[in-house]
Amino acid sequence: MLKQVRRIVTTDDADGKSGILFDGAAQHTITVLTELWQTPAGRHDHVTDEDMALRSQGIEPPPGGTIFRFFQIAPESQPAHLSREERQKAAHEWFAAMGSAHLQPDTSRHETMHRSPTTDYIVLLSGHITLVLDKEERDLKPFDVVIQRGTNHAWVNRGTEDALLMSVLVDARPEG
């Protein structure tokens, strides 16, 4: 079960006085992603009453935009009876459920390897996680930060409890 995340979004009223637009548990989830906010390209709209988190459809932010989210990774369990092909298939289905199967160009190192055209700022909040890259790995502890610059990677939880991470993804696709 995903951890509930309280989200407070501010707004200005017609007189320019600040107040609260939303205060409560973030409601939009996509598999392990809890969407908190999204911004499209261009100037940010601070007037809309729309819950911008509801626009998210998957891992990537909109072209020229950003996405702010929590994501939760359960401990990895690879029962001996599952073949590599079965794990690959399950991972592909998981990414497809996030609208992101196209982000898996090379899963030879780990079945959840993926690459998105984004710059990601990631903070491990709780638990333990391993960042798996094509050539190496790094174990993270709470409050470690990763600046993910569009490289092929996977998040692998070899611990015993869920890992909770916070991330901001910034679109880094070339213009045109």
Q: What is the pTM of this model?
A: 0.84
DSSP code for 21: E
Question: Which residue ranges make up each domain of the chain?
Answer: 29-176
Angle at 156 between CA 25 and CA 87, to 5 degrees: 105
Task: Dump the DSSP string for 25-58.
Answer: E---EETTEEEEEEE-SSS--SS--S-GGGG--S
DSSP code for 114: B
| CA distance linking residue 30 with residue 59, whole number of Å | 9
| CA distance linking residue 52 with residue 63, whole number of Å | 15
CA distances from 68 to 19, 23, 44, 79, 132 (A): 21, 16, 14, 33, 22
Of the chain, the percentage scoring pLDDT greater than 70 comes to 98
Instruction: Look up residue 140 and give its amino acid.
Output: L
Please determine, looking at this structure, whether the domain spanning 29-176 carries the CATH number 2.60.120.10: yes
Mean pLDDT of 92-103: 93
User: Which residue, 72, 82, 9, is CA-closest to 46?
Assistant: 9
Compute, in degrees rounded to 10, the torsion defined by CA atoms 72, 96, 85, 131.
Answer: -30
| pLDDT (0 to 100) of residue 132 | 92
- The residue whose two tokens read 């006085």 is 17
pLDDT band, residue 82 (cuts 50/70/90): confident
| CA distance linking residue 121 with residue 109, whole number of Å | 23
Q: Is 152 left (phi over 0), alpha (psi -120 to 50) or beta?
A: beta
| pLDDT (0 to 100) of residue 80 | 64
For residue range 27-52, list pLDDT tens digits in order. 999 999 999 999 989 988 888 999 99
| pLDDT (0 to 100) of residue 19 | 83
Mean pLDDT of 79-101: 88
- CB-CB contact of 38 with 56 (8 Å): yes
Mean pLDDT of 118-145: 94
pLDDT averaged over the chain?
A: 91
